Amino acid sequence: TQEWLDKRALLGNVCVYCGEARPLERDHQVPISRGGTNDIFNIVPACRTCNRQKHNKTVGEFLTARAS
């Protein structure tokens, strides 16, 4: 829990994808279903909207799809 709180604070307590200060949830940069881990280095804060849109994409895939 402390690692998660520290990570959120380090990243400004905003969603790493849209920058909004909404309620945050844990997002796996590399999804578990794609070989990612639960290590704190693979977890970032994301709002529910971005997290749901990202689904099981990697960060690169999500950002590319979002830019289109």
Residue 38 has what pLDDT?
96
d(CA 44, CA 40): 8
Contacts of 38 (CB under 8 A, 6+ apart): 28, 32
Which alpha helices (H) appear in 1-68, and where do they start and end? 2-10, 48-54, 59-67
d(CA 14, CA 18): 8
Please give the model's pTM, rounded to 2 decimal places.
0.90
pLDDT, one tens digit per residue, over 15-53 is: 999 999 999 999 999 999 999 999 999 999 999 999 999
